[in-house]
Amino acid sequence: MIYVDADACPVKDEVVRVADRHGVKVFIVSNGGIRPNPHPLVETVVVPDGPDVADKWIADRAGPGDICITGDIPLAAKCLEAGARVLRHNGETFTKSNIGNQLAMRDLMADLRAADPFRQGGGKPFSKADRSRFLEALERELRAAKK
């Protein structure tokens, strides 16, 4: 199964396209505002409002052989701990060997933002190269998960 942390996810359509090729069930999880996908392999899950409710829903279900698509580092850590494979929207893979550094960097950046409220910034815009990298990574992870 594929679990998509759908809030602000730019690759939902790509996930469905690849999952269809492989015959894999997809759960698109959010707290609302997402149009349900009519594809028979897709289940849209709307969770109640609240901090990290969608993340908890995914973390409670993801396990070995599953793939989680998220940019949320704490959710990625929980899914990895449960034995799932985890991808960012740009195709980067979270692994047990890199998740500790990812969590530490996240905490450091939160501290820097808190120390300087005027600090401007944000992530890079999502590009065609990111989308292509994601498609390749999802294909690779699905093949590996089937083994």
**Annotated domain spans of the chain:** 2-146
What is the pairing mode between strands 85-87 and 93-94?
antiparallel
**How far apart are alpha carbons 5 and 11 in whole angstroms?**
10
Domain boundaries 2-146, CATH class: alpha beta
CB 105 within 8 A of CB 112: no
Render pLDDT for 48-101 as a digit per residue (tens, 0 to 9): 988 789 999 999 999 999 999 998 889 999 999 999 999 999 899 988 887 766
Q: Which residues touch 93 (CB under 8 Å, ≥6 apart)?
A: 85, 86, 87, 137, 141
Statement: residue 109 has pLDDT above 70: no
Q: What is the pLDDT of residue 30?
A: 92
Q: Which residue has the higher pLDDT, 127 or 106?
A: 127
Could you count the other beta carbons within 10 Å of the beta carbon of residue 31?
18
Supply the pTM of this predicted model.
0.83
Neighbours of 9 (CB within 10 A): 19
CB-CB contact of 85 with 145 (8 Å): yes
CB 14 within 8 A of CB 134: yes
Q: How far is CA 3 from CA 16, 20, 59, 102, 130, in A?
A: 11, 14, 9, 20, 19
Least confident of 7-16, 45-54, 107-116, 129-138: 107-116
Q: Which residue has the higher pLDDT, 28 or 110?
A: 28
pLDDT band at 26 (very low <50, low <70, confident <90, very high): very high
Q: Region 2-23: what's the mean pLDDT?
A: 92
